[in-house]
Chain A
Amino acid sequence: MIQNALTAIIPILPGQLTALTNYLQLIGTDVENNPHVRFRQTPSTHFARWVILNDPSAPRLYFSACYDGTLQDYIGELTMNLGAGMEPIWLCCQGYPPRAAQDPVKFAEFLKPYCQEPDIFLIAFPGLSAQEIIRNQAFREQLDDHLDTLPRNPATPLTPVTVPVPPAKSIGTILMDLFWPLATWLINLLVGIRPGAPAQNTVVTTKNDLLAAEDKVVQNQMTIVSPVKKGIWPGLLLRFFLWLGSKTDKPAPDGKLSGLSTIHFARWVRIDDGKNLLFESNYDGSWENYIDDFGDHAATAMNAVWGISVGFPKGGCLDIEAFKDGIRRYQHPAQFFYSAYPTQTVRNIATDRRLRQNPDSASFKSGALG
C-alpha cells in the first residue's frame, strides 16, 4: 500500500482569520490530547499539518497530510474520526457547507477544487505504513528491554575483530559520478547561478513564530512558498526540473532521499498557476542541520528547483547564509503539526524494520540498538 499526499490550499473567509488562528492554536498546542482533533484516531496518517499562509491581502489555509492508501479511504477516515472536531476550522474557509466534514462525499466535494497533485512527492519508505512503523518500534523497544535482562559474559572481548568492507560502487553510481559534474554545470547555467559568485553579506533573520513552532518532537515541519520568477522560460525550466526530479529522485533502501537520511516525506508543488512554488518537508532534527544538509549533499538539486525562485542567491545554495535567509523569509510556521511516530527518525525506522524482518541481522548483533 503506497503512501499519498493530500495538498489543499483554501481561501480563508474575510474576518475569520483570528477565529481560525485561535482554534488552530488551541488544538496545535496539545496535538496528542486535545479533545477536538486527535489524528491518532486516523491510523493511516503519517504526518498532518495546518498552516496559515498569511498573505495579508488574501490569507489562505494550507492543509496537508501524508497518509496510507487511497484518497477516498483517507477522506472516509478523516470524516468519521475528526469530522466534528475539524468543523470550526473549515467553517472559516471559503466554500464550506456546514457539517460537510462529517460526510465523506460532501467533504470530498468541498476539498476537491482546492486540492493539487504534487509535482514531486518523496517518500523515504514507500509502502511502509504508519502502523507498521509503530509496530516495528514497539517490537524493538521490547527487544531492547529484554536484552537489558540478559547476563553479560565478561570474557567476551569488547571489540570484535571484523573490519567492515565498504560496498563496491555500482555501475550506476560510477556513471553518475562521471555525469554529475556536467549535469551540475548545465543546471547552474540554465538557472543562471554562478557557483563562486561572491557571497552576500547576510544577517540570517528568523522570526520568533518560526522558532516557536520548531523542535517539539523529533521531526520538524517546513512549509515554504516561494515566488517563481516571471516569464515563460523560468516556468518551463521549473516544470522540466520537477519532472526530472520526479523521475530520478528515488529513496535508497535505508530511507535516504537525495543523499539525506533525515527526510520522511517531502513534496514540491507548483501552485497558483505556477506563480508560486510550495515545498513541504517532514524532516528529522534541527532546521540548521537540515538546510546545511541541502548544501552538503544536494546543492545541485536545490539550485535547480529553487534557483528559479525570486531572490535566490546568485552563488546558489552554497551562499549558505543568503540561502538560509531566503528560506526563513518564505517559510510559514505550522499552527498544527501531527506526527504518528513523534520519536522515530528515518534512521530509527530503517533500523527497526531491519530488526523486525531479521532479528539475527548484523545490525542487531552490532549493538546498533539503542
Chain B
Amino acid sequence: MTTKNPAIHAADVQGIIISGYGHLFFSSYLFLTVQDAKNARQWLAAIVDEITTADRKKGAAVADKKPDHAVNLAFTAAGLSAFGLPADSLQTFSQEFQEGMTEISRSHRLGDNGASSPQNWEFGGVTAAGLPRDAIHVLLILQAATQPELDALRDRHLSQAASHGVNLVLPESGHRLPGQKEHFGFRDGIAEPGIEGSPKAPGDEELPIKAGEFILGYPNSYGNLPPTPVVSGALDIHKVLSPVTHPAADQAGLLDFGRNGSYLVFRKLHQDVAAFRQFFHKRFPAPDAAALMMAKAVGRWPSGAPLALAPDRDDPKVSELPKSNHFGYASDPHGYGCPLGAHVRRSNPRDSLGDNAAESLTNVNRHRIIRRGVSYGDPLPAGQMEDDQQPRGLLFICINADIKRQFEFLQQTWINNPKFDGLYNDPDPLIGDNLEPGDKKRDCNFTVPRQPIRTRIKELPRFVTVKGGHYFFLPSLAALRFLAAL
C-alpha cells in the first residue's frame, strides 16, 4: 500500500481524463483504420503536439485556462498492434481490453443481448453488416465550441490522417442538449467523481477519489498502483517512458507504457424516447402521475433535483450543483424517496450498501467511472408521443483505470442485476436489459416503495439499445511519442 499521493503529471495526461470540456458543445468521434504502421507513426508524430493535455496552465496567464478546442486520441488493441506494438506488450494490457467488448461471456455480463447484441451493432460488433471490430484502430475525439469550428478541425485532421494512410471508417457526432439534458428529458452528468490532485480548478465534484482509479501510475482506492501495460526497454529509443514502478522482480528492465494513461469505454446507446413517454403515460394516466413515476425511475426530476432531497415534487432549490449532488440514501433504506431500483441510486449507491454508511462509500468508490458522454441526434419534440424513427441517444464514454472493476462491475452488479440491494426482479428501469418484443416471458419490474403498500410496475420494456461499442486505451503523451517512434 503506497500512502504518498504524487502530484498528477498534467502535461503527460490527455485532457479528456480530467475534463469533459463542458464549454465545448460539439464533438466528433472519428474511428480510423491504419493501413501501414510506418506511415501511421509519422501521422502520430505530426499530431502528438496537438493533443490537449490536462495541463491547464500552458500558455495562459490565468491559472485555469479552458481550451478553445480539444483533441484526444485513443487506441483499440488492434490499433496498438497496427502501430507496431509487439504482441508480448499487448498481453500486459487488461484481459477485457485485449478481448474487447464483444467476447461472448462479456456480452452476457454487460446485458448486450437481443437487439443490443454485437451481431446487430453498427460498429465494433463481430459479424453482419456493421463495421467490424478489428477495423477500428484509433478513436480521434475532437471537441469545439461551435459546429463550424468543429467542422474545420475535423476536415483538417481527416485530411492530415488520410495523407498518412490513416483512414476514416466511421464518424460519430455528438452535441450537448440545452439545459445539460439527455434525450429522455433529464439533466445529466451531475454526479461526477473528482480526481485527487487534479490540475482542474475544483468545481462542484464530490469529494475527490484516488487518482489511480482513473489514471494509471497513481495509487488507487486500494492504495495500490493499478496494473499497467509494459514494454521492453529496448524499444524505447528516445527514452520517453519511465521504468515500471511495481517493484516485482519480473518487471525488471520493463518500461511503463500505461503511466498517465487510462482505459476508455465507448458505447453508442440508442434511446427510445417515444417508448419511454408512452409507457409511463399509459400506465399512469392520472395528472402528474407519469411525471412522478418517470422521476422515480430516474431518481432525479428533469431539473436534476434528486428524489433523495425532493421526493414528492420537483424542487428548484436542490436542482443546481453542489446541492443536487450533496446527499445520501442511508436515511432512506427502504427507498420511499428515491426507490432502491432507481437509475441514479443503483449506478452510484453512495452510502446505502449495507449497514455502515462510511464503509459503503469506501466500497462504492472502488467502482466509480468518469463519464464523458454526449448526446447524438435531435430531441423528440416535447410532448410528442409518436416515434419519428430518428436516431437519437447517448454516445456513452467513460474513463476508468480498470474496466472490469469499474465499468463492467457497475453494468453487471448494479445496473442489470435484478437483485440489486435486496430487490427481486428489478433491473435498471431506465437503461437495464428489460423486455424486448419477442422476449420469452421474464419478470422485469420496477418497485416504487410507498406506504401502506408499494407500487409494482411490471413488464418494463427496454428503452435503451446498444448500437455499437469498443474498449480503448488512452495513452499518455509520452506513450504516444513512444508509439510514434517505434
Contacts and interface: CB of A to CB of B under 8 A. Distances in A.
Nearest to B446: A370
A348 B419 contact: yes
Interface stretch (B78-86, B148-156, B220-228, B470-478): B220-228
Nearest to A194: B1
Interface in B292-311: 292, 311
Contact of B422 (A154, A288, A368): A368
Of A152, A157, A164, A367, most buried by chain B (CB within 10 Å of CB) is: A367
Nearest to B367: A292
B118 interface: no
Interface stretch (B16-24, B137-145, B183-191, B448-456): B448-456
A211 interface: yes
Given A147-B456, A157-B312, A295-B222, A201 B227 contact: yes
B433 to A, nearest CB: 13
B451 A284 contact: no
Contact of A158 (B251, B336, B424, B447): B336
B419 A159 contact: no
Nearest to A321: B227
Interface stretch (A10-18, A127-135, A212-220): A212-220
Interface stretch (A25-33, A101-109, A183-191, A202-210): A202-210
A151 to B, nearest CB: 10
Interface stretch (A74-82, A229-237, A312-320): A312-320
Contacts of B333: 164
B447 A201 contact: no
Contacts of A292: 363, 366-367, 405, 409
B452 A156 contact: yes
Given A201-B228, A284-B419, A289-B413, A365 B451 contact: yes
B239 interface: no
A286 interface: yes
A203 B94 contact: yes
A370 B457 CA distance: 10
A200 B226 CA distance: 9
B94 A150 contact: no
Given A200-B246, A208-B105, A365-B451, A315 B445 contact: no
Contact of A318 (B223, B226, B251, B367): B223
Nearest to A320: B222
A43 interface: no
Contact of A366 (B412, B419, B449): B449
Contacts of A261: 354
Interface in B223-242: 223-228, 230
Contacts of B448: 367
A163 interface: yes
B334 A348 contact: no
A197 B335 CA distance: 41
B56 to A, nearest CB: 30
Nearest to A150: B453
B422 A347 contact: yes
Given A348-B422, A367-B449, A201 B248 contact: yes
Interface bin, chain B: 35 or more
B221 to A, nearest CB: 10
A3 B425 CA distance: 28
A89 B408 CA distance: 37
B331 A203 contact: no
Given A198-B246, A320-B224, A321-B227, A296 B363 contact: yes
Contact of B246 (A156, A199, A288): A199
Contact of A199 (B92, B224, B334): B224
B450 A367 contact: yes
B378 interface: no
A202 to B, nearest CB: 5
Contacts, number: 161
A73 interface: no
A286 B451 contact: no
B125 interface: no
Of A156, A157, A261, A296, most buried by chain B (CB within 10 Å of CB) is: A296
Contacts of A288: 404-405, 408-409, 412-413
A159 B246 contact: no
B312 A286 contact: no
A120 interface: no
B1 A318 contact: yes
Nearest to A259: B354
A226 B413 CA distance: 27
A166 B351 CA distance: 14
Given A163-B331, A195-B1, A201 B105 contact: no
B104 to A, nearest CB: 8
Interface residues of A, number: 57
B361 to A, nearest CB: 11
Interface in B252-292: 286, 292
Contact of B423 (A211, A212, A366, A370): A370
Given A202-B227, A205-B95, A367 B413 contact: no
B409 A160 contact: no
B359 interface: yes
A347 B355 CA distance: 13
A281 interface: no
A351 B422 contact: yes
A35 interface: no
Contacts of B223: 196, 318
Given A204-B95, A288-B404, A366 B105 contact: no
Contacts of B112: none
Contacts of B109: 215, 286
Contact of B222 (A156, A289, A318): A318
Of B336, B408, B409, most buried by chain A (CB within 10 Å of CB) is: B336
A203 B451 contact: no
B423 A214 contact: no
Interface string A141-159: 0001001101010101111
A192 interface: no
Interface in A320-337: 320-321
B445 A370 contact: yes
A177 to B, nearest CB: 11
Interface in A170-192: none
Contacts of B225: 198-199, 201
Interface string B384-410: 000000000000000000101100110
A370 B421 CA distance: 11
Contact of B92 (A147, A203, A286, A370): A203
Of B105, B251, B286, most buried by chain A (CB within 10 Å of CB) is: B105
A21 interface: no
Given A215-B109, A321-B227, A369 B419 contact: no
Of B95, B362, B402, most buried by chain A (CB within 10 Å of CB) is: B95
B227 to A, nearest CB: 5
B331 A164 contact: yes
A152 B455 contact: yes
A3 B402 CA distance: 40
A367 B105 contact: no
Closest 3 CB pairs of A and B: A370-B424, A367-B454, A367-B449
Given A148-B458, A204-B95, 19 more contacts: A148-B456, A159-B337, A164-B333, A196-B3, A201-B225, A201-B248, A203-B91, A289-B412, A292-B409, A296-B366, A318-B222, A320-B222, A347-B419, A351-B422, A365-B453, A366-B451, A367-B335, A367-B450, A370-B425
